[in-house]
Chains A and B, each alone.
Chain A
Amino acid sequence: MKLPCSIGIAERAEFPGRPTVFMTQQINTYRAGPDEQGHFGIFGGRFVAETLMPLILEVEKAWDAAKEDPSFEEELQYYFKHYVGRPSPLYLAKRLTEHFGGAKIYFKRDELNHTGAHKINNCIGQILLARRMGKTRIIAETGAGQHGVATATVCALFDLPCTVYMGSKDIARQAPNVFRMKLLGAEVKPVTSGSNSLKDAMNEALRDWVANVENTFYIIGTVAGPHPYPAMVRDFQSVIGREAREQMMEAEGRLPDSLVACIGGGSNAMGLFHAFLDDPEVKIYGVEAAGHGLNTDKHAASLTGGRPGVLHGNRTYLLQDDDGQILEAHSISAGLDYPGIGPEHSWLFESGRVEYVSATDREALEAFQLCSRTEGIIPALEPAHALAHVGRIAGDLPKDHLLCMNMCGRGDKDIFTVAEALGVEL
């Protein structure tokens, strides 16, 4: 495996299970990115309008300072533990393991977090940063509504006004989350431009930000956007992988053999993967949404069906036509319905460290039902895509193969979509 760059040993100690020989020598790493300009290889960067640039630089400076400040970390850990409910369990899914008859399947239970998904990890981190920067108003974009709910939640907690942009198409299919956001005191602004979906919500949030840079902090919900967002969101989410690592060591005395996570923008996946990127023996799968199939024009698989381009502040793989116009993505899961992907994933894809695959709407629906019946866990449609891939590979793997999947969200929000897809009237 080709390793792209070198760093010192300082980062090693946090990882139980790492061979101690690494402690004494210079090693190569996949974990040192991005560079100072926010690039992961050719991906990432800061492609934003000048009005935003000074603020982007200010966010970067504040984030660099916060990272070095023990009181920031202390505050973050306090809320992770007492408010979010971390650590989330690592759970051996026995019946699914039996069902597939191969690999031992573990779920990292981030759906048990407060608000029901991994999104809150990042929102707590960013709102603490916004407070440090003295910002008095929060905006966010949301697709499935999980990030919107998590943002509205932390805004209620810290008493900051909150505006969430959401595509009108998503408002229709995620009604419970819309109501949740309103209950939490947020203003939900429907977005009717473009494809009325997540990318358009992000455009609209950026437009709001341009007009309100002085008092407003934009809590981006995934590992995308201009630098430092992809790195910052990853850092907040990487608690998932650090915990999983420790928990797997405790449960099995060794690292997992494979990791699986679904990818829209890719924050839950980066969160799980990051702690394991330099363990070449750990096989890593990212699962994109194949919608109606990769051979149709209705999917959201940016890596397998797109090519590099520039959108929303970063260079990354995008679904686009021959003229560089961004295409509408499609997925049954609103959270994966995005024509781009975080730049670090594009880099991990090209470097070959992570294998990116996809699952269709239909496969996700089947996995959704299977998981509900066999484990008593109704997964969100997003991790149902990850589970679909688990179902594809688990049976052929040996029984001592340790597979860890990120159960990054719970499915209550999706029951209406699923009912409709199954032809059930509620």
Chain B
Amino acid sequence: MSEHADSGRIRRRFETLKAAGRGGLVTFVTAGDPDYETSREIVLGLPQAGADVIELGMPFSDPMADGPAIQAASLRALKRGMKLAMVLDLVRDFRKQDDETPIVLMGYYNPIYSYGPERFVADARDAGVDGLIVVDLPPEEDEELCLPALKAGLNFIRLATPTTDDDRLPAVLSNTSGFVYYVSVMGITGTTSAAEGAVRTAVERLRRHTALPIGVGFGIRTPDNARAVASVADAAVVGSAIVERIVAGLGDDGSPAPGLAGKVLDFVRELAAGVRGREGPE
């Protein structure tokens, strides 16, 4: 495979944010949750609702690092027939209307391994994906996907955690590109929140090791949380709290009630106002 330059979307987006003097909002939803059409409606509406970076979950049957909300989102999507190839379809669709907002796919390695890592990174790049976050691939396993992804022109965004000490950080950061995703709590998604002071200290520590933008996630639930985090980091990542808005819009039979996507996007608007330091949507 020949070397490809990355799309530059992530870099450009963080430069724009910096010029605007604010932190960004990274929103997470699982592709295909609660079904493909509703998910498409949500994702296509995210940029206008104020998401700066879109993190799109690739559903997996056994999401070991996720809490109940995102586990259930994965299972809902799978139950409605979501496949990895359809995640790429969704991205392709999105790119028809938006060539600027970065899309980062987040998930676990097995579906990608099953798809074929080389084929996957090529197809993802072609579809318009900008980066990958694969939870169960630490730097010790870089040859599996990280190096092929970088070669194909995809950013590989690594998670750094409170347990990643100064000795280990260089290894974690070595093949990281795009931005660094700091997991602010020890634990799974959607549970506890980190104290603002602890986040600040952690971001300062990371900045001593890298010039990459730093996104902070896990436990960010409200516009206020998002504002606080975005004021010390380059972006705040919100996942479970958005996914819970999807759940709130499901009928008793699990199918989406009318207006679900709109309500989810309303919440994203509130979060977006948060990172912009405002009280509510304009």
The interface bits of chain B over 158-172 (1 if a CB of A lies within 8 angstroms of the residue's CB, else 0) are 111111110010001
Nearest-Cβ distance from residue A101 to partner chain B, whole angstroms: 46
Nearest-Cβ distance from residue A50 to partner chain B, whole angstroms: 5
Closest Cβ neighbor of A207 among chain B residues = B188
Q: How far is the CA of A55 from the CA of B138 in the complex (A)?
A: 13
The interface bits of chain A over 18-46 (1 if a CB of B lies within 8 angstroms of the residue's CB, else 0) are 00000000000000000001000000011
A45 CB contacts on chain B under 8 angstroms: 140-141
- For window 151-208 of chain A, which residues contact chain B by CB distance below 8 Å? 193-194, 199-200, 203, 206-207
B248 at the binding interface (Cβ < 8 Å)? no
A49–B64 CB distance below 8 A: yes
Given that A53-B140, A311-B110 are known contacts, is A211 also in contact with B191, CB under 8 Å in the complex? yes
B160–A207 CB distance below 8 A: no
B62–A199 CB distance below 8 A: yes
Of A319-327, A329-337, A353-361, A384-392, the segment with at least 4 beta carbons within 8 Å of chain B is A319-327
Of B1-9, B111-119, B230-238, the segment with at least 4 beta carbons within 8 Å of chain A is B111-119
Size of interface on A: residues with Cβ below 8 Å to B: 37
B113 CB contacts on chain A under 8 angstroms: 309-310, 315, 324
Chain B interface category by residue count: 35 or more
Given that A323-B84, A325-B78 are known contacts, is A50 also in contact with B138, CB under 8 Å in the complex? yes
A324–B115 CB distance below 8 A: yes
B188–A50 CB distance below 8 A: no
The interface bits of chain B over 123-139 (1 if a CB of A lies within 8 angstroms of the residue's CB, else 0) are 00000000000011110
B187 at the binding interface (Cβ < 8 Å)? yes
Partner of A206, one of B64, B71, B164, B168: B64
- For window 393-411 of chain A, which residues contact chain B by CB distance below 8 Å? none
Q: How far is the CA of A322 from the CA of B60 in the complex (A)?
A: 13
Partner of A54, one of B75, B112, B164, B183: B164
Nearest-Cβ distance from residue A35 to partner chain B, whole angstroms: 12
- For window 22-79 of chain B, which residues contact chain A by CB distance below 8 Å? 60-65, 67-68, 71, 75, 78
A377 at the binding interface (Cβ < 8 Å)? no
A54–B165 CB distance below 8 A: yes
A210 at the binding interface (Cβ < 8 Å)? yes
A372 at the binding interface (Cβ < 8 Å)? no
Partner of A51, one of B78, B109, B112, B186: B186
Residue positions of A touching B, CB distance < 8 A:
37, 45-55, 193-194, 199-200, 203, 206-207, 210-214, 309-313, 315, 318, 320, 322-326
24 pairs, A vs B, C-beta closer than 8 Å? A45-B140, A46-B138, A47-B109, A48-B138, A50-B138, A50-B163, A51-B65, A51-B183, A53-B164, A53-B168, A54-B165, A200-B62, A203-B62, A210-B65, A211-B191, A212-B186, A213-B186, A214-B186, A310-B109, A310-B110, A312-B62, A312-B64, A324-B60, A324-B112
Closest 8 pairs between A and B when the two form their complex, measured CB to CB: A324-B114, A211-B187, A324-B111, A325-B61, A51-B161, A47-B136, A49-B65, A326-B61
